[in-house]
């Protein structure tokens, strides 16, 4: 199953568990009703004790919260999701455009690299079976020719092994990159489900005196977590755009027939590592947009994990390139 399908599974999971918030509404109604009784009684007692007229407007707050609890999935979650959904769709369309451009540029670059290696007599037989067979036909059966044949077979095999190792390491980083995105999306979905299901309880608790900030805290946390996905899409779009600019530069150089291409993909690997580490900074960046308290420890742990992942990835990259040899880095 592709990573895009897994993201769709997480979205469908959220949609399927969203109606469970209505089950909590029954408990929240009783809690909110009891809180409203004490809230109204306290307001009336304060007004009577001070010989002041009773202000009815503040007493409407528990009833407004009660309506929100009764119609929580549609009135609260439906409204917030309807407001924030265009942001998600907009950032996702930006990401899709950047990925499509990058895919087209990468295909053109691969074609130009293949043509450039075919133009060079020293590397043509490495990528083309026809050139390899043609070069073998030009050789005889003397000792020097046999030695040349052996060297050609060894060079061709070494090129295949080198290319296989490069592709394996590149695929490994791509898997880790997709895994980092799935980790963020899974945690985001879990947080949204918890906030959605227990949302009526939070609204009911906010009716009680002294817990009024619970309502604003719930809203800010929900919006903050919801925006993780748009921020992640913007981060992926930025990486895709950077890779597109690098690929365009490589294409311009490959169009020069005298240019010898470098197939080590070192820059691509570096940006993959940056992307893996950068995904774990998304909760912190989202906190700059919406100030939501209560997630400080989580953000701190995420940042520490990102720093450790960056150090491990950097050490692993250096060790891998060191074992492969200078030919893997630059050819």
pLDDT in tens, 236-290: 888 888 888 887 887 777 777 666 556 556 777 787 788 888 888 888 888 888 7
User: Does pLDDT of 74 surpass 80?
Assistant: yes
Q: What are phi and psi of 160, to 5 degrees?
A: -65, -40
pLDDT digits (tens, 9 = 90+) for 182-235: 888 889 999 999 999 888 899 988 888 888 888 889 999 999 999 998 898 888
Q: Can you give the pLDDT at residue 174?
A: 76
- Cα 121 from chain centroid (whole Å): 43
pLDDT digits (tens, 9 = 90+) for 136-194: 666 655 556 667 767 777 877 777 787 778 778 777 877 887 788 888 888 999 999 99
Between these two residues, 101 and 221, which has the higher pLDDT value? 221
Cβ neighbours of residue 232 under 8 Å, at least 6 residues apart?
A: 181, 184, 185, 279, 282
**Given its phi and psi angles, is residue 2 left (phi above 0), alpha (psi -120 to 50 degrees) or beta?**
beta
pLDDT digits (tens, 9 = 90+) for 32-66: 888 877 777 877 777 777 777 877 777 788 888 88
Contacts 24+ apart (CB under 8 A), 307-312: 307/277, 309/276, 309/277, 309/280, 310/273, 310/276, 310/277
pTM of the model: 0.69
Between these two residues, 2 and 21, which has the higher pLDDT value? 21
Output the average pLDDT for the chain: 75
The Cα-based distances of 94 to 85, 179, 232, 233, 234 in angstroms read 14, 21, 12, 8, 8
Reported as a pLDDT band with limits 50, 70 and 90, residue 119 is low
Tokens standing for 143?
């000792």
């Amino acid at each position: 199953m592709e990573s895009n399908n897994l993201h769709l599974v997480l979205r469908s999971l959220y949609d399927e568990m969203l109606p469970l918030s209505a089950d909590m509404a029954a408990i929240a109604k009783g809690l909110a009703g009891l809180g409203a009784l004490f809230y109204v009684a306290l307001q009336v007692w304060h007004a009577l004790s001070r010989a002041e007229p009773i202000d009815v407007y503040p007493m409407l707050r528990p009833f407004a919260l009660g309506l929100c609890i009764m119609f929580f999935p549609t009135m609260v979650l439906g409204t917030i999701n309807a407001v924030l959904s265009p942001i998600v769709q907009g950032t996702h369309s930006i990401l899709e455009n950047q990925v499509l451009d990058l895919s087209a540029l990468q295909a053109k670059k691969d074609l130009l690299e293949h043509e450039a290696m075919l133009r060079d007599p020293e590397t043509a037989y490495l990528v083309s079976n026809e050139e390899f067979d043609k070069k073998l036909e030009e050789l005889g059966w003397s000792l020097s020719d046999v030695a040349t044949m052996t060297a050609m077979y060894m060079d061709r095999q070494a090129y295949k092994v080198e290319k296989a190792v490069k592709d394996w390491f590149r695929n490994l980083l791509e898997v880790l990159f997709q895994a980092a995105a799935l980790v963020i999306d899974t945690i985001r979905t879990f947080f949204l489900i918890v906030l959605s299901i227990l949302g009526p309880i939070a609204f009911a608790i906010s009716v009680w005196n002294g817990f009024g900030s619970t309502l604003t805290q719930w809203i800010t946390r929900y919006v903050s977590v919801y925006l993780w996905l748009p921020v992640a899409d913007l981060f992926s779009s930025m990486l895709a755009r950077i890779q597109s600019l690098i690929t365009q530069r490589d294409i311009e150089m490959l169009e020069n027939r005298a240019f010898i291409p470098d197939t080590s993909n070192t820059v691509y690997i570096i940006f993959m590592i940056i992307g893996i580490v950068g995904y774990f900074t998304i909760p912190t960046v989202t906190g700059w947009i919406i100030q939501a308290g209560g997630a400080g420890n989580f953000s701190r742990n995420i940042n520490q994990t990102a720093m450790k992942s960056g150090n491990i990835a950097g050490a692993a990259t250096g060790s891998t390139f060191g074992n492969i040899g200078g030919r893997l880095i630059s050819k």
